[in-house]
């Protein structure tokens, strides 16, 4: 009975961390959406929502365990956030693996979009607003998700999972929940769920191998900028392979996804050999 109670407590604890990760990302995204809408409706020429969200993002980061003055953050939150610094060589391999993964993700998105029938990730017509306002809002939108998703899913949730499971299981579980967390806003469609699962695996592996969420944040940011500006705006023009014969671009993007996946795996292997952080994990 005592063992059953202990197991139940551990499961409930992990569920709590999963819900916390979802709440961190949902609340941050919701606040940014509200600020964005109000800004565009009231004073589109003055992008006041961007500095306002920057302040809120900084406060949230500090509260969750980001660096600040002594005693400003509990040690427990620092450990769960896992915003640890790394040597320059570790960042280099982490960014190399992440950059190669971005090329693979671009290919996977285009291929999966053409294989599965799903609505495109379209955005409202922003051409009626000042270009500077639009540019700043895109940048801020691409910053909110990396900081909060990495903090919630690869920080708090995955750290808790790594204390209960081996690394592959912890990364897989956090990636499944990460993919499902996109369902309420993007739909529970298998191509999108698979895509976000793969994204979660890449970022989760980076967090585990570096014992930090910091290396993945700039890659996550650049990836969103690429998808906001170059990938998602063209979704509506892509043809389903079931409606017409797959053209050459479909096969090119499939080859792109596979080739860069292989290269990314090689880079992750080099990252693992460069610094596995066994000592840091043992101390935590």
Say what the pLDDT of residue 284 is.
47
- Greatest alpha-carbon pair distance for the chain in Å reads 65
Say what the pLDDT of residue 71 is.
52
Say what the pLDDT of residue 271 is.
95
Say what the pLDDT of residue 186 is.
85
Block means of pLDDT (10 residues each) for the chain, 284 residues, are: 70 92 94 95 95 96 75 77 93 97 97 85 78 94 96 96 95 96 88 95 97 97 95 86 79 96 97 70 47
- Tally of helices (H runs) and strands (E runs) in the chain: 12, 0
Residue 113, classified by CB atoms within 10 Å of its CB into exposed (0-12), middle (13-18) or buried (19+), is buried
Say what the pLDDT of residue 40 is.
94
Angle at 206 between CA 254 and CA 106, to 5 degrees: 25
Say what the pLDDT of residue 158 is.
97
Separation CA 195–CA 193 (nearest Å): 5
Residue 31, classified by CB atoms within 10 Å of its CB into exposed (0-12), middle (13-18) or buried (19+), is middle
Q: Residue written as tokens 């640890």?
A: 84
Q: Of 268, 239, 235, 223, which is closest to residue 94 (Cα–Cα)?
A: 268
Separation CA 18–CA 9 (nearest Å): 14
Say what the pLDDT of residue 6 is.
75
Q: Would you call 3 helix, strand, or coil by DSSP?
A: helix
């Amino acid at each position: 009975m005592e063992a059953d109670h202990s197991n139940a407590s551990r499961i409930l604890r992990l569920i709590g961390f999963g819900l916390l990760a979802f709440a961190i990302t949902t609340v941050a995204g919701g606040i940014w959406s509200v600020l964005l809408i109000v800004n565009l409706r009231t004073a589109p020429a003055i992008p006041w929502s961007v500095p306002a969200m920057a302040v809120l993002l900084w406060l949230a980061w500090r509260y969750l365990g980001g660096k600040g003055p002594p005693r400003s953050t509990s040690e427990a939150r620092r450990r769960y956030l896992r915003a640890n610094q790394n040597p320059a060589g570790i960042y280099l391999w982490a960014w190399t693996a992440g950059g190669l993964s971005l090329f693979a993700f671009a290919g996977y998105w285009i291929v999966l979009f053409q294989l599965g029938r799903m609505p495109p990730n379209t955005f409202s017509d922003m051409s009626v607003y000042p270009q500077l306002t639009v540019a700043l809002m895109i940048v801020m939108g691409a910053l909110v998700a990396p900081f909060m998703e990495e903090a919630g899913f690869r920080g708090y949730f995955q750290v808790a999972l790594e204390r209960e499971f081996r690394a592959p299981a912890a990364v897989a579980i956090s990636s499944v929940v990460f993919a499902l967390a996109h369902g309420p806003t993007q739909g529970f469609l298998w191509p999108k769920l698979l895509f976000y699962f793969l994204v979660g695996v890449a970022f989760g592996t980076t967090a585990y191998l570096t014992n930090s969420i910091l290396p993945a944040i700039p890659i996550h940011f650049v990836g969103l900028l690429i998808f906001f500006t170059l990938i998602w705006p063209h979704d509506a023009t892509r043809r389903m392979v079931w409606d017409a014969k797959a053209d050459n671009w479909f096969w090119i993007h499939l080859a792109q996804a596979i080739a860069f996946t292989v290269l990314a795996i090689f880079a992750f292997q080099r990252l693992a050999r460069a610094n596995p952080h066994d000592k840091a994990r043992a101390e935590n």
